[in-house]
Amino acid sequence: MKLEAAVDDLMGTLCADLERLARIPSIAFPGFPAEPVLEAHDLLVELLRGAGVPTVERLDLPDTSPVIYGEIPPPTPDAPTVLLYGHYDVQPPGDESLWESPPFEPTPLEGTEAGLRARGIADDKSNIIAHLGMLRAYGGRPPVGIKIVVEGQEEYGSAFDDYPPSDPERFACDAMVIADLGNLRPGTPTLTTALRGACEVVVEVRTLDEPRHSGEFGGAAPDALLVLLKALATLHDVHGDVAVEGLRREDWSGTSYTEDEFRELAGVVDGVPLVGSGSLGERLWTGPAITVIGLDAPGVEHAASAVVPYARAKLNLRFHPHQDAKEAQNRLVEHLRSLTPFGVHLTVTPGDTGPGYEAATGGPAYRAARAALKEAWGKDASFVATGGSIPLVNGLAKAAPGAEVLLFGAQNSMCNLHAPNERVLFSELRNTVVAMAAFVREYADGFAATDVTAQGGTGESRA
């Protein structure tokens, strides 16, 4: 109760700092100004130093927004070290006409739930504020050593994803809290235990030198768009399940959405069925998904009566957390290259890949996290996976191979991240701060009572 009271006393200041941070349009995508990204960086450095972090450094990598690195030494030589991760960059706002208020003017939510609406306020600025809240609750002297990693280019991707294994001493720790996720739904404490991998593939077709009159040539001249569409149609079966051989799929036994929840979250139009078979967890987290994320073809508004000579599509594949990224991509590439719709060969080009991740959940950090989440929300934690990917998780796990990886935070699946009207609830932020503060306490107590080697800790992070 003393811990909760301390957090409650901090909430006014924490919410004010969240507003300050969310007002900064820290978009690290090409074409957007770099100054707001640096402004967000500088504000966080100020806030971390004010929270009692004695060592705050700036890491500069090629073509990457600056990374904030901070350290608080362990209070005793045998105390564990916990790495805290978040990111201060945000997605572009998209079509601002779809927002109920300007995306970079934090606005109170209407209705019965208290919170704020703004771009990036959930993903991921609320989670950075939760880290700050934990540090402030202990007056900058938590019962564990702390390493803080806050990057500024997660949403777009950067060289930092692969950097940690090249500097393992800096990132050595016994556990890490990756705060770039949150609860399945508000009020349901959630630990994310697996991330699907992701890759991209481009498929293109050239059949004619240039467009030809559809009346004079249609019926014999090969239409590139029809060829492409026929190829894309082979990627799924009649139920909507992925039909590419060799892509791993397994049952999901953890917590998941109800169908009504998912339909509302996805904005599925009334009367339109969901695609695929099996449980939602299987379709979203432990099975593959292929999405056509881009299509180059003549637009309808200015369409001419002509046979299309060229068409191209970009595909996004999400795959099982345990499947090798290159193998999964190769399965899709091989499937497409084996096709010759109407006798026409396709040009298939593999793009970026990112591996999935699955955490081991039986160690002392997970025991501490389950106790902490129950303390904060008053109920046992649920275990879920996510279809999204966080490439840096694998880099950090390689740098600290003995560390337990925990994924939780102040977001929730209903907060509209990457969509118009992104929002965060103050109740979720408050409970996340309580959970993080309770976690480091529980983890320190459990760590002191157990032999370090038996826990799988690195030992490299302690003084």
Q: Are strands 306-307 and 212-213 parallel, antiparallel or unpaired?
A: antiparallel
Q: Catalytic: which of 71, 123, 124, 154?
A: 154
Confirm whether 89 is a catalytic residue: yes
User: Which phi and psi (to 5°) does residue 112 adopt?
Assistant: -90, -20
Confirm whether 301 is a catalytic residue: no
Please name which of 69, 30, 40, 77 lies closest in space to residue 459, comparing C-alpha atoms. Answer: 77
Torsion over CA: 13, 19, 22, 24 (sign)? negative
Q: What is the 3-state secondary structure (H, E, C) of the chain?
A: CHHHHHHHHHHHHHHHHHHHHHCCCCECCCCCCCHHHHHHHHHHHHHHHHCCCCEEEEECCCCCCCEEEEEECCCCCCCCEEEEEEECCECCCCCHHHCCCCCCCCEECCCCCCEEECCCHHHHHHHHHHHHHHHHHCCCCCCCEEEEEEECCCCCCCHHHHCHHHCHHHHCCCEEEECCCEECCCCCCEEEEEECEEEEEEEEEECCCCCEEHHHHCCCCCCHHHHHHHHHHHHECCCCCECCCCCCCCCCCCCCCCHHHHHHHHCCCCCCCCCCCCCHHHHHHHCCEEEEEEEECCCCCCCCCEECCEEEEEEEEEECCCCCHHHHHHHHHHHHHCCCHHHCCCEEEEEEEECCEECCCCCHHHHHHHHHHHHHHCCCCEEEEECCCCHHHHHHHHHCCCCEEEECCCEECCCCCCCCCCEEEHHHHHHHHHHHHHHHHHHHHHHHCCCHHHHCCCCCCCC
Q: Catalytic: which of 71, 89, 155, 375?
A: 89
Tell me how far apart the alpha carbons of residues 248 and 78 are, in angstroms, rounded to a whole number: 42
**Which positions are annotated as active-site residues?**
89, 154
